[in-house]
Amino acid sequence: MRILITGGAGFIGGTLIARLAGRGGHEIVAFDNESLGRREDIADLDCRFVAGDIRDGDALAAALDGVDAVVHLAADTRVIPSIENPAHNFDANVRGSFTLLEAMRAAGVKRLVSASTGGAIVGAADPPVSEAMPPAPLSPYGASKLAVEGYCSAYAASYGMACASLRFSNVYGPRSFRKGSVVALFIRQMLKRETLTIHGDGSQTRDYVFADDLADGIIAAIDRGASGVFQLGTGVPTALDDLVAMLHEVSGREIPVEYRPFRAGEIVHTWCDIACARDVLGYDPATPLREGLARTWVWFVDNRARLGV
């Protein structure tokens, strides 16, 4: 099977390529505009790199030649910047995804797995978050992902495409050195022995899923030609203070923490119900958080030269 991965040079893209290559039997095309990920980040992996932007229909048409399935990871995933500049977030996420869907329709590619998000779409709902909850985005980022889910549903119904929207929880793991999410950020700061900053009182909870487990869920959705919305996380909430304590433990470093006020648009408590993904996709995240953090810390230490620390 030939699989095109948009955002393929990014953290999750690289993890997914490594998992697919380990299984064998796939030809992988990584499509990326290198606004965050870089082609050298996946130079050690068995794939073909194509430079391009998902808002460029001609570039997508060329990349889709002979493709059997698409994994759509390219996006502007930053919550706070989406509040500051919603037009950019809309352009990258909604217009870009629509351009991809149209290019797939023209090329006759019928299978899509699209990266979405849970908490940012459902908003300040009582967790655990499930696919059945009504959407109430708190940020333009969440609204953009909800719009993309809507287009995926419409294209599945209107054009016979298999479109799975996978709502990722907080993903962490090796290869995340360019990522701005909390685990990668805190590890970079710990390597530099910088004070960690928590916006809030540290009691806020998230669902942290190891990237290898998430990649296996994506592969299951490809293999099964799944359609619909699925939550991919662990179903286990972890307070931010507990996350910091685990990072201190696995790193052997005690780094000071500075607490600042909560930020607008951010959710205080969210984790997800993964029963639907278990039933339909056979999804089974197996990596305990402490183990995943230890593996991530070791990867960052081994690759610290790339970080300049």
Catalytic residues: 141
DSSP 39: G
Q: Is 70 helix (H, G, I), strand (E, B) or coil?
A: strand
Between CA 119 and CA 126, with CA 120 as vertex, the angle to 5 degrees is 35
How far apart, in Å, are the Cα atoms of 241 and each of 36, 57, 163, 220? 28, 44, 37, 33
Contact 74, 6 (CB under 8 A): yes
Alpha-helical (H) ranges within the chain are 11-23, 57-63, 79-84, 86-90, 96-107, 119-122, 140-159, 182-191, 211-224, 240-251, 275-281, 289-302, 304-307
Angle between helices 240-251 and 182-191 (to 10 degrees): 40
| CA pair distance 71, 63, nearest whole angstrom | 13
| C-alpha torsion sign, points 211, 51, 181, 235 | negative
- Retrieve residue 277's tokens: 């993904």
